[in-house]
Amino acid sequence: MRLMISGGGTGGHIYPALALIEALQAQDPTAEVLYVGTHRGLESRIVPERGIEFKTIKIQGFKRSLSLQNFKTIWLFLKSVGTARRYIKAFKPDVVVGTGGYVSGAVVFAASQMHIPTVIHEQNSVVGVTNKFLSHFVDRIAISFESARSQFPEKKVVMTGNPRAQQVVNIKRTAALQALGLADDQPTALIFGGSRGAARINAATLEAIPELNQRSYQTLFVTGQVHYDQLMAKLGETKLAANVKIVPYIKNMPAILPEIAAILGRAGATSIAEITALGIPSILVPSPYVTNDHQTKNAQSLVDAGAAKLVKEADLTGASLLAALDSLMLHADARESMAAHAKQLGQPAAADQLLQVLESVVKR
């Protein structure tokens, strides 16, 4: 199979694409892949590191208010469609897949106009603007949450789950905690606000450090690279006990997840896929700054199933963070119950199911 795939801007669009590529190459080592992204997006660094052929187009998103920049956006979209057509003609893909972000809009739209089989994948419970636009042109739409189904043309929708889930479900325990200076025989809470960190989560955690120092469980606090120096300066004279570790970033986050007893973090699509695939209890603090508050809706799907707790960012303080962590970390039975419910929501064959969708549109 010759696969052209596009998704960019955030890890939530990029990592499912990479998981799908990994599954395809495991199934068919002769498969050829071309990834199309932007030169400024996170994908421009992550994708080439994986040894995947990568090309770029220039595009930007619409401003939500009236702005002359929107005329430039339209011009860039039309120009990027032309660039995408040239890439398609040169690569000759069997199928073109979009995983979200403005860049996928131009690539998948161009492919649909050239009568190339097309599929989009929606990771969230609330459909993104690009995928809503593309839904009118593509052959199939793969979803990760049932609540997204009604937001698309019904006949095109297939429930596959998030390919990221399959990528992490078979990860084995390593000595990842020991490598960070923590014990591997104590329950460990991971506090993680996403790849760039989250200021409110960081502030609440910093406030809770003196109490976390005294807990019987361990805390691994990932601040995000851009926040680390400032946070450590604010920590000042406060000493860290042996059970608390603060780091700016963990390059291979999935490798550490099997050793984590509970997570406190955001409710992005990638996080949800990882949490449910591995059956990890979670305290979710949805970002209020995302489109249509989709992280709250993502989180609520887990809460409704007994698989997570939800704390609104506006309610997050050092005290509420500590109380939420203690409710899980000091009660193994609560963690076990939540883990079981999370596992029931897992999608361990999501990438294979999405591959089946690709094969079905190619054969049409």
**Whether pLDDT at 50 is above 70:** yes
- 59, exposed or middle or buried, with CB in 10 Å at 0-12, 13-18, 19+? buried
- Which of the two residues, 364 and 154, has the higher pLDDT score? 154
**296 assigned to a ligand binding site:** no
**12 assigned to a ligand binding site:** yes
**Whether pLDDT at 187 is above 80:** yes
Q: Distance between CA 195 and CA 274 in Å, rounded?
A: 14
Instruction: Please give the pLDDT value at position 59.
Output: 73
Instruction: Please give the pLDDT value at position 67.
Output: 53
**Whether pLDDT at 156 is above 80:** yes
Instruction: Please give the pLDDT value at position 254.
Output: 86
**252 assigned to a ligand binding site:** no
Instruction: Please give the pLDDT value at position 60.
Output: 60
Residues 6+ apart with CB under 8 A from 47: 14, 18, 35, 37, 54
In DSSP notation, 150-206 reads GGS-GGGEEE---HHHHHHHTPPP-SHHHHTT--SSS-EEEEE--TT--HHHHHHHH
Residue 61 pLDDT class (50, 70, 90 cuts): low
pTM of the model: 0.87
**279 assigned to a ligand binding site:** no
Single-letter amino acid code for the residue at 88 = I
Instruction: Please give the pLDDT value at position 29.
Output: 96
**Whether pLDDT at 217 is above 60:** yes
Residue 159, CA distances (Å) to 39, 142, 143, 154, 354 in order: 31, 6, 5, 11, 9
**Whether pLDDT at 74 is above 90:** no
Residue 297, CA distances (Å) to 225, 248, 358 in order: 28, 28, 28
**11 assigned to a ligand binding site:** yes
Least confident of 63-67, 313-317, 334-338: 63-67
How is residue 320 written in tokens?
Answer: 């509420």
Q: Report pLDDT digits (tens) over 253-285.
A: 888 999 999 999 999 999 999 999 999 999 999
CA 96, 98, 101, 102 torsion-angle sign = positive
**250 assigned to a ligand binding site:** yes
The owner of tokens 């161009």 is 110
Q: With contact defined as beta carbons under 8 Å apart, do 169 and 161 qualify?
A: no
Domains by residue range for the chain, with CATH: 2-162+349-363 (3.40.50.2000), 169-344 (3.40.50.2000)
**Whether pLDDT at 245 is above 70:** yes
Q: Distance between CA 140 and CA 128 in Å, rounded?
A: 16
Residue 72 pLDDT class (50, 70, 90 cuts): low
Mean pLDDT of 173-195: 92
